[in-house]
Amino acid sequence: MTTDESETRRRSARPRTRRRFLTAAGTAGAVALAGCSAERTDGGDGGDGSGSDGDGNDTSDGNDTDDGDGGDGETPTLTVATYTNFIDAPSVSPGEWLKGEFESRYDAELEWATPDNEVNYYVERAASGAGIDADLYVGLTTEDLVRVDERLDGDLFTEAGDVDGRDAVKEGLRFDPFDRAVPFDTGYISLVYDSTTAEAPETFDGLLDDEHAGALITQNPGGSSTGRAFLLHTVSRFGDGGVASDGDGEAVEGEDGDPDYDYLDYWADLEENDVRVLGTWDDAYAAWSEGEAPMVVSYSTDQVFADMEDQDLEKHQIRFLNDQAYANPEGMAVFAEADEPDLARQFMSFMLEPDVQGEIAQRNVAFPATDGAELPSDYAELAQEPTDPVTFTYDQLQGSVDAWVEAWERQFAGN
Amino acid sequence: MTRLRAGVESHALTALAVLTSAALVVAFYYPTATVLIEAVVVDGAVTLSVFADILTDPFYFGELARLLSGESPVAVARSLASPDRRLGIVGFTAYQAVLSTLASVALGLPAAYLLARFEFPGRRTLRSLTIVPFVLPSIMVAVGFVATFGQNGTLNAALGALGLPPVDLMFTLEAVVIAHAFYNAPLVARVTTAAWESVDASAVETARSLGAGPMRAFVDVVAPQVYPAMLTGAALTFVFTFGTFPIVLALGGFQLATVEVFVYRLVRDLSYAEAAALAIVELAISLGVLLAYLRYEARNSTSTRGARPLPRRSLVPSTPSLRELLPRAGLAAYVAVAGLVFLAPIASMILASVTGGDGALTLDHYRFLVERQQTGAAFQVRPWPAIRNSLAFATAATLLALPMGVVVAVLTTRRYRGRTLVDAAAMAPLAVSGIIVGLGLLRGLVFGVEVAGWRIAASGAVAIVVAHAVSGYPFVVRTVSPGLSGLDRSLVESARALGASRARVIRDVELPLVWPAVVAGAAFAFAISIGEFTSTVVLATGADAYTMPVAIERFIGRRLGPATAMGVVLLVVTGLSFVVIERLGGEHRGL
């Protein structure tokens, strides 16, 4: 419920002068108070089911829409939190289709919530005792879970439990050892290159050749998920040289079989060869599109978009270095404080149905998480999968990933 | 009625000061404090260890850290003298900010000279538009810059046509510095122009009649009034470029990472203690620069009665003498450089918005905007509401920032003990990391505070307006304050002696005398609001409070067309707004 306090606080009664700036200040002051909302909290636990200002509610005039408390005879509302691109992108996004389809199959209303800080927003909400205000999160990565578990003492998410169709999820994608997150799609981070200007090397070592000097653009591992995936891929390839071992005693051994050459050595060589590490994926892809370099770190589904936009596929070739790509499976999990936990699990089952899996893959331009998803027969022609996907498990990332990124930062930006 | 009016008037200043303080506390101090406190309170215990770690870390402070960690000054001095000395991230950030400030002043001053001293068709419109670069989202600027200065860019095409070898500016410190100048030279130009236009012609005429040559008159009369304004622009530019973040990585690369890059990463990884400590280091340095400048300003305010601006000269020389031709030749050279730095990137943006994937001209990207407007889902960002919200928020924020700024300017032009503290408090919104403020707003306003079993929260349009006003009002202070403090006190005293209230004197005597500065401040407040992103996305908890920069960010994809089309919409809308602001503000009210 909302209280409009401007009644009691409007002390600056409109002075009848033509003094524009004073009048403006008076009204602004009064209006400023009208945007407040006050609601009862129950025992500091929050989350009493009445809408507060945390999600897709219109609060511009201080009127909260009712979240629907799923009472008898009412259509329950399921609030699904996710990242923005999942529901709103300039090309395609699955959000609208999923909402329509879910509402037609179940007696429920689906409401999307896309806070700018994504999962961190809910970590903040939990930490400040403001209530969670959503039923499940769609788009969790392994790293998100590691970070959330490290940061919060309590449980933000609860076990998936009884979700129909979970058995169909591919074994290699199940990334949560505590069975909270259920994968619904996956992507692969690889090189995308313009074959009309240069041919990409076959291996990581090939990137160090003189002919590829200044030829690769990647992203900041500290601020971009593709950049981080590429960094993790190099850790997996060359080992971490014990950078994070003070935490858990184990050094990651690289596949290259050389214990004296780790990922930091490889990056030193890459830097020597003029690799460009820009900020976000947007920065990198824009610079690559303008022809600043022939290769960029991006997604292996690049040709799907290129085909949509009738672009020359020769300019959008995929290269899996050492036949590998780093897999980033995305999962969904129910919030421990969900108002509609059962409906949330129904939604998870819905997300895993073969036809929905196919739609998600196409509309999110990714790959299904389950066996038996219904995809058009030519989907694999444009959306390429590596023969040997690489990914770190939850246990491997825990206590390590921050140290890996930080060690890389300190080497790469040492001024 | 008259008595009521007099009563209101006599207390208006106090009431406004109270309101201003309240807005600052609610939308800035309290929220920011909730984050910054984490630097010193870790797991419930007060500690300075986080700071100690940062201050003694060569990665952040270079050779200085060794000094702070107790190494012998001699050894450190020796390292400093050696060619491979380490600046550290903080040192490097300051270094690039100094370079960026120099470049911004170098590119901003000639523009101020042109706009303040010459008359030509379209001058006022051009003056209004100078501030446009200031509001562009960094991704747009990055796109424009790659298209201009990249390997296949406009500059290299031009050089090639002249038979010169290509230059590759991309991913260098130079590119970052030029981009910072793109953003901040307009600021320097705008502030300096306002000061130059306030120079009283009679003072120059007096100097000339007493036998001073034009050069001497300029150095003794005009320069002392223009110089502080230029320094204002320089100080603000330093603070902005010291806290720079996305543009550095977009055009430079991670080798050129600034402090803010690390603050952002630490916040993203939820390492709040270190993030807050770094942000406090940033704040201390930025505020230090601002306060040093303010001390200078206080000591060097020149008295003026600001009555009659200098007459402007025609761009066409009256006589073909060297004295007439030389400045104009210099300006011609400047216009060529400005064309490359300011116009070429903007032209590239506009071109990108009408270029399809195959390189042919097309209106598809604008069609996308229309389509998104018509068929976008309720939870998707649509162009028209974004335009509407941007304009509404910016107008409201400006109307709020103006009285706030004027009040603080009045309060800080008096001499009293502790003024430095008030100055610092008033300027703090400029100097705090935007990411930290955003996080604070989330905690302080969106989640709210629990008081006696009630949770008081505020978000949505009103919160956005207040947050924008808090970000913009320091510009009003900085543009208005020098003029106010330079006013002849006898004017104010006579008006007071004749029975006018303090508020009335401000309105009827002081503000009209510094009116160009008020209009410049309003334009800045408007620009800050239009371009603001971080606080907006945090506070726009509904699906309906997004602005143009948010829409641009949402429309970025593999093809930049839709986003650049929205960027052009932003260009046009803000350009028109600035022209309207200047027209509303009038050229020189009553002068």
A17 interaction partners in chain B (CB closer than 8 Å): 5, 8-9
Closest by alpha carbon to A309, among A252, A370, A365?
A365
CB contact under 8 A, A17 and B89: no
For residue A246, the model assigns a pLDDT of 59
Rounded to the nearest angstrom, the minimum Cα separation between B395 and chain A is 11
CB contact under 8 A, B465 and A32: yes
When CB atoms are compared, the residue of A21, A305, A415 closest to B89 is A415
Q: Which residue has the higher pLDDT, B222 or B441?
A: B441
Residue of chain A with shortest Cα separation from B252: A278
Ordered strands of the B454-458 beta sheet: A36-40, B454-458, B449-451
**Exposure string over A324-349, b if 16+ CB within 10 A, otherwise e:** bbbbbbbbbbbbebbbbbebbbbbbe
When CB atoms are compared, the residue of B269, B545, B557 closest to A60 is B545
Window from A12-26, A95-109, A209-223, A257-271 with minimum mean pLDDT: A12-26
Helix (H, G, I), strand (E, B) or coil at B187: helix
A95 interaction partners in chain B (CB closer than 8 Å): 377, 379-380
B261 interaction partners in chain A (CB closer than 8 Å): 220, 222-223
A46 interaction partners in chain B (CB closer than 8 Å): 455
With bands split at pLDDT 50, 70 and 90, how would you rate the model's confidence at A62? Answer: very low
Q: Is the pLDDT of residue A34 over 70?
A: no
For residue A21, the model assigns a pLDDT of 41
For residue B7, the model assigns a pLDDT of 64
Residue-wise pLDDT for B365-392, tens only, equals 999 999 999 999 989 999 999 999 999 9
With bands split at pLDDT 50, 70 and 90, how would you rate the model's confidence at A28? Answer: very low
CB contact under 8 A, B544 and A57: no
Q: Which residue has the higher pLDDT, B470 or B203?
A: B470
Window from A378-392, B141-155, B444-458 with minimum mean pLDDT: B444-458
Q: Work out how many CB contacts closer than 8 A connect A with B.
A: 275
Residue-wise pLDDT for B339-363, tens only, equals 999 999 999 999 989 988 777 899 9
Q: Is the pLDDT of residue A3 over 60?
A: no
For residue A7, the model assigns a pLDDT of 31
Closest by alpha carbon to B38, among A124, A222, A143?
A124
Residue B172 burial (CB < 10 Å; 0-12/13-18/19+)?
Answer: middle
Q: Is the pLDDT of residue B4 over 80?
A: no
The CA dihedral of A347, A149, A404, B273, to the nearest 10 degrees, is 120
A24 interaction partners in chain B (CB closer than 8 Å): 399-400, 402-403
CB contact under 8 A, B446 and A54: yes
Q: Is the pLDDT of residue A23 over 80?
A: no
Q: Is the pLDDT of residue A244 over 90?
A: no
Residue of chain A with shortest Cα separation from B8: A15
Q: Find which of B247, B558, B560, B581 to mutate to test the A interface (most A CBs within 10 Å of its CB).
A: B558
Residue-wise pLDDT for B154-172, tens only, equals 899 889 999 999 998 999 9
Q: Which residue has the higher pLDDT, B200 or B156?
A: B156
For residue A18, the model assigns a pLDDT of 38
For residue B266, the model assigns a pLDDT of 96
A37 interaction partners in chain B (CB closer than 8 Å): 448, 456-458
Window from A376-385, A399-408, B291-300, B492-501 with minimum mean pLDDT: B291-300
CB contact under 8 A, B544 and A60: yes
H-type helices in B69-172, by residue range?
73-81, 88-117, 123-129, 138-149, 154-161
For the segment A235-257, the average pLDDT, to the nearest whole number, is 82
CB contact under 8 A, A58 and B543: yes
DSSP string, B133-151: GGG--HHHHHHHHHHHHST
For residue A26, the model assigns a pLDDT of 45
Q: Which residue has the higher pLDDT, B146 or A13?
A: B146
For the segment A122-142, the average pLDDT, to the nearest whole number, is 94
Mean pLDDT of chain A: 85
% residues pLDDT > 70 (chain A): 82
Mean pLDDT of chain B: 89
With bands split at pLDDT 50, 70 and 90, how would you rate the model's confidence at A155? Answer: very high
Q: Find which of B447, B506, B514, B556 to mutate to test the A interface (most A CBs within 10 Å of its CB).
A: B447
With bands split at pLDDT 50, 70 and 90, how would you rate the model's confidence at A248? Answer: low
When CB atoms are compared, the residue of B89, B538, B557 closest to A89 is B557
Residue-wise pLDDT for B320-343, tens only, equals 888 888 889 999 999 999 999 999
For the segment A134-160, the average pLDDT, to the nearest whole number, is 95
With bands split at pLDDT 50, 70 and 90, how would you rate the model's confidence at A174? Answer: very high
Residue-wise pLDDT for B82-100, tens only, equals 777 788 999 999 999 999 9
Residue of chain A with shortest Cα separation from B460: A60
Window from A58-67, A347-356, B229-238 with minimum mean pLDDT: A58-67
CB contact under 8 A, B455 and A46: yes
% residues pLDDT > 70 (chain B): 96
Q: Is the pLDDT of residue B247 over 70?
A: yes
CB contact under 8 A, B447 and A222: no
For residue A32, the model assigns a pLDDT of 44
Query: Is B214 an interface residue toward A (CB < 8 Å)?
Result: no
Residue-wise pLDDT for B530-583, tens only, equals 999 999 999 987 678 999 999 999 999 888 899 999 999 999 999 999 999 988
Residue-wise pLDDT for A312-362, tens only, equals 999 999 999 999 999 999 999 999 999 999 999 999 999 999 999 999 999
CB contact under 8 A, A19 and B461: no
Rounded to the nearest angstrom, the minimum Cα separation between B584 and chain A is 13
Rounded to the nearest angstrom, the minimum Cα separation between A32 and chain B is 6
Query: Is B205 an interface residue toward A (CB < 8 Å)?
Result: no
With bands split at pLDDT 50, 70 and 90, how would you rate the model's confidence at A70? Answer: very low
CA distance B401 to B226: 25
CA atoms within 13 A on the CB side of B40: 8
Q: Is the pLDDT of residue A53 over 90?
A: no
For residue A14, the model assigns a pLDDT of 38
Rounded to the nearest angstrom, the minimum Cα separation between B478 and chain A is 18
**Range with the largest mean pLDDT of A2-6, A247-251, A273-277, B449-453:** A273-277
For the segment A216-225, the average pLDDT, to the nearest whole number, is 96
% residues pLDDT > 90 (chain B): 58
B246 interaction partners in chain A (CB closer than 8 Å): 279-280, 283
For the segment B129-156, the average pLDDT, to the nearest whole number, is 91
When CB atoms are compared, the residue of A15, A41, A279 closest to B249 is A279
Q: Which residues pair with A368 in a beta bridge?
A: A185
When CB atoms are compared, the residue of B87, B249, B380 closest to A283 is B249
Angle between helices B88-117 and B272-299 (to 10 degrees): 40
Q: Six-digit token pair at A44?
A: 């500091």
CB contact under 8 A, A60 and B562: no
B503 interaction partners in chain A (CB closer than 8 Å): 19, 22
Side chain identity at residue A298, one-letter code: S
CA distance A278 to A272: 16
CB contact under 8 A, B558 and A91: yes
For residue A59, the model assigns a pLDDT of 36
Rounded to the nearest angstrom, the minimum Cα separation between B120 and chain A is 33
With bands split at pLDDT 50, 70 and 90, how would you rate the model's confidence at A9? Answer: very low
